């Protein structure tokens, strides 16, 4: 598929999706959300892709928010549909993707940009990154999962303050409160993400898929995460990856996972 607002680079089983709207600070419009959905879907279905990194073009922004010009005159119904469709197509879709997704936050991650980063499985930030959910300054609230994921990641009190003040958190504060896993100079951001992705890609993609599902289940109000874990743990015993992983361990060699 040809994309206008993103591009994909693939190397050594690691795919990097770059959101490429530099004049708009990579803001998310409907087309970009649709393109990201297709890219994530395509890569998730590709058995040769073990890890996905998502980042923004340029040095200023990961994603500076949603494209406000698209919805400034929306009705109540259109606003609700915007949030529901966006969550379905991108934010919840990424969170539940079976392929691990790392957000490389290279600058501003505001509003929908932070919501995209939070929907990824974890985040790495450059030292110049700034994160926030400024929606209340526009008379609206985060609509792409921000009110749910931010408290899960940094705690209710901190999330309430960040949302209600419409403030921004710098990378060092984000690191301190667990919003990001690492903070590095911008030139080291993608190399570190690739290094982590390479470690992930050495492991069983089948087991990782089940692990992602089990961890996410623990944050679902109507799901017993422990039961999901037990079921997934048992299921792993019937996979070729389990047979290869245990055989390799007992034979003192490196596992070569078939991924089935």
Same domain, 234 and 115: no
Selected catalytic residue, list 35, 77, 135, 229: 135
> d(Cα 69, Cα 27) in Å, to the nearest integer?
11
Q: Could you tell me if residue 20 is inside a domain?
A: yes
Same domain, 51 and 31: yes
Q: Could you tell me if residue 255 is inside a domain?
A: no
Q: Are 22 and 58 within 8 A, CB to CB?
A: yes
Asked if 135 is an active-site residue, the reply is yes
Confidence of residue 2 (pLDDT cuts 50, 70, 90): confident
When divided into structural domains, the chain yields a total of 2
Q: Are 129 and 105 within 8 A, CB to CB?
A: yes
Same domain, 177 and 136: yes
Same domain, 38 and 89: yes
Please give the pLDDT value at position 193.
Answer: 98
230 Cβ contact list (under 8 Å, min separation 6): none
Confidence of residue 234 (pLDDT cuts 50, 70, 90): very high
Same domain, 39 and 167: yes
Q: Could you tell me if residue 259 is inside a domain?
A: no
> d(Cα 211, Cα 162) in Å, to the nearest integer?
30
Selected catalytic residue, list 115, 187, 188, 229: 115
> d(Cα 70, Cα 195) in Å, to the nearest integer?
38
Residue 136: CATH number of its domain: 3.90.226.10
Same domain, 229 and 126: no
Same domain, 46 and 169: yes
pLDDT at 260 over 60: no
Same domain, 135 and 191: yes
Please give the pLDDT value at position 31.
Answer: 96
pLDDT at 199 over 90: yes
Range of the domain at 213: 205-250
Q: Say what percent of the chain tops pLDDT 90.
A: 95
Same domain, 193 and 210: no
Task: Work out whether the CA dihedral 19, 24, 28, 33 comes out positive or negative.
Answer: negative
What is the pTM for the complete model shown? 0.96
Please give the pLDDT value at position 67.
Answer: 87
């Amino acid at each position: 598929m040809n994309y206008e607002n993103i591009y994909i680079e693939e190397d050594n089983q690691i795919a990097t999706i770059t959101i490429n709207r530099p004049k708009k600070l990579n803001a998310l419009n409907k087309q970009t959300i649709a393109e990201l959905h297709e890219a994530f879907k395509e890569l998730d279905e590709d058995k040769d892709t073990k890890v996905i990194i998502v980042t923004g073009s340029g040095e200023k922004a990961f994603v500076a928010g949603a494209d406000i010009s698209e919805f400034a005159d929306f009705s109540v119904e259109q606003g609700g549909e915007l949030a529901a469709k966006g969550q379905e197509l991108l934010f919840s879709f990424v969170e539940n993707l079976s392929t691990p997704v790392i957000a490389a936050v290279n600058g501003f991650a505001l509003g929908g940009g932070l919501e995209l980063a939070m929907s990824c499985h974890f985040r790495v930030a450059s030292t110049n990154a700034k994160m926030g959910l400024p929606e209340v300054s526009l008379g609206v609230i985060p609509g792409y999962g921000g009110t749910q994921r931010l408290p899960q990641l940094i705690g209710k009190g901190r999330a309430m303050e960040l949302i209600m003040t419409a403030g921004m958190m710098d990378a060092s504060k984000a690191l301190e409160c667990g919003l990001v896993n690492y903070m590095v100079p911008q030139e080291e951001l993608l190399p570190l993400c690739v290094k982590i992705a390479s470690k992930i890609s050495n492991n069983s993609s089948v087991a990782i898929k089940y692990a992602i599902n089990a961890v996410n289940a623990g944050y679902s109000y109507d799901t017993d995460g422990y039961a999901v874990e037990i079921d997934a743990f048992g299921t792993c015993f019937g996979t070729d990856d389990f047979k290869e992983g245990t055989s390799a361990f007992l034979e003192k060699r490196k596992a070569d996972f078939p991924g089935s």
